[in-house]
Amino acid sequence: MPQPITAIIVGAGHRSLVYARYALDHPDRLKIVGVADPDAERRQMAQRYFSLSDDMLFENAAALAQRGKLADAVINGTMDQQHVETAVPLLEAGYDMLLEKPFAINEAELRTLIGAARRSGRKVMICHVLRYAPFYAEIRKRLPALGKIQGIETTEHVSHHHMLVSYVRGKWRGAATAGHHSMLLAKCCHDIDLIMWMKSGIAPVRVSSFGGMQQFRPENAPAGAGNRCLVDCPPEIEDNCPFSARKQYLEHPDRWSFYVWRDLENVERPTLEQKAALLKTSDYGLCAYKTGAEIVDNQTVIIQFADGSIASHNMLTGTPLAQRTIHITGERGEILGRVDDSRFTMRVLDPHSTAEYREETVDLNASGDTSGVKGGHAGGDERLVADFVSLLLGEKPSVSCTSIEDSIAGHMTVFRADQAMETGQVVEIPRV
């Protein structure tokens, strides 16, 4: 039996730990042997989870890189704007890497990291986990039946509570306001990547885009609203606001808890009173209309490929229900469905039938393809890590495998789409 792949966590946040927990269920395949994080509590938490020795706790990626290569791979789940500064020295030290998406926040960073990956020759897989969701993986397998793909339409509806907790009040608000990245990059690089994957490597050549912030602007706040929901907002306003921090977080204290109650991680069982006190000072307690977030809440992207085909993506936020949909049309048929249902419909032209097409509903729940799969992103999280381990063990990776080279076109499309939105022009997409 081969020895398990050894890995070190860099950035012991929620996403890294989701991926690293694969080692607890599959100790024969993956073993976590270290952690690098500037937060001592996060290092100690990872140490407890994975029984790490004291000499394998590092304050940052630079300190780890200085020690040379101590494991086979790194699980890099640092914040988006830290990916390049943490990844480059570790690639140079000889580590293979599982790197959270987006792997770069602008074109200059993309070129820097691509150059480092190519020079080092290390394996770098990007965490486009939706490629691993059974729904999308099965669609990808069935595309040949449609002939040449002529059009792809995808949508992502971001629920109001996700938009508020992550992008209006949360940590990505600060990153966007500081110019580190856009909403399209943070939330929809998954969707753009899926479009690139469905097009089987045919290059995108130009893009246009429209969008902006419509809802959570200061001028849209109720007259007389305060700056903090639990501090200075009049009760008659706060009581009737569906976006109040009280309703979003105290009435649903377990929803997004790893974000909202981050500063209470050292408290074993924080009370509602402690959580309410935190909301009086943290960003999550700000009036949703007055956070100063500079982020787009609705955006449409239209992409043209080298073969003349067209794809579009619509990001719509503030919806009551979070969902993703896809509709692919080809020369000989179509596929359409909603990932949240794990079910899609496939229609293929058949001039001999009464309807002139054959229709099949593919229900992945009924087939068992979604059973026994742990983790988020429609089952994609665990399958992604399993594929990364297979790649490093020299086994054949799945069709979903996304190397950093595979991820270039999607990232470049996002960067140029945002440029197109800002300038009102159609923008060319170069190859890298």
Helix, strand or coil, per DSSP, at residue 59 = coil
pLDDT of residue 377: 52
pLDDT at 1: 65
Rounded to 5°, the CA angle 197-200-206 comes to: 80
CA distance 124 to 389: 12
pLDDT at 136: 95
Asked if 90 contacts 97 with a C-beta cutoff of 8 angstroms, the reply is yes
C-alpha angle with apex 254: 250 to 258, nearest 5 degrees? 105
Q: What is the distance between the alpha carbons of residues 35 and 42, in angstroms, rounded to a whole number?
A: 9
Are the C-beta atoms of residues 163 and 277 closer than 8 Å to each other? no
Ranges of residues in the chain whose predicted pLDDT is under 70 = 1, 174-181, 366-379
Instruction: Please check whether residue 176 is in contact with residue 185, taking contact to mean a CB–CB distance below 8 angstroms.
Output: no
The rounded distance, in Å, linking the Cα atoms of 125 and 116 is: 14
Q: Which two tokens stand for residue 242?
A: 């569906």
Please write the tens of the pLDDT for every residue from 5-59.
999 999 999 899 999 999 999 999 999 999 999 999 999 999 999 999 999 999 9
Output phi, psi for 312, to 5 deg. -135, 150
**Residue burial 214-236, b: 16+ Cβ < 10 Å; e: rest:** eebeeeebeeebbebbbeebeee
- What value, to the nearest 5°, has the Cα angle with vertex 312 and ends 309 and 318? 170
In the chain the domains, ranked by start, together with CATH numbers, are 5-126 (3.40.50.720), 130-215+294-368+402-428 (3.30.360.10), 218-285 (no CATH)
**What pLDDT is recorded for position 186?**
87
Number of helices (H) and strands (E) in the chain: give both, helices first: 17, 15
CB 261 within 8 A of CB 139: no
> What pLDDT sits at residue 374?
47
Bridge partners for 208 per DSSP: 302
DSSP classification of residue 145: G
Q: How many CB atoms are closer than 10 A to CB 353?
A: 10
- Conformational region of residue 228, where left means phi above 0, alpha means psi within -120 to 50, and beta covers everything else: beta
Residue-wise pLDDT for 116-160, tens only, equals: 999 999 999 999 999 999 999 999 999 999 999 999 999 999 999
Which residue carries 């960073």 as its tokens?
109
**Cα dist from 260 to 17, 178, 276, 284, 334, whole Å:** 17, 21, 11, 6, 41
Residue 366, pLDDT score: 64
Report the pLDDT value the prediction gives residue 372, as an integer from 0 to 100: 38
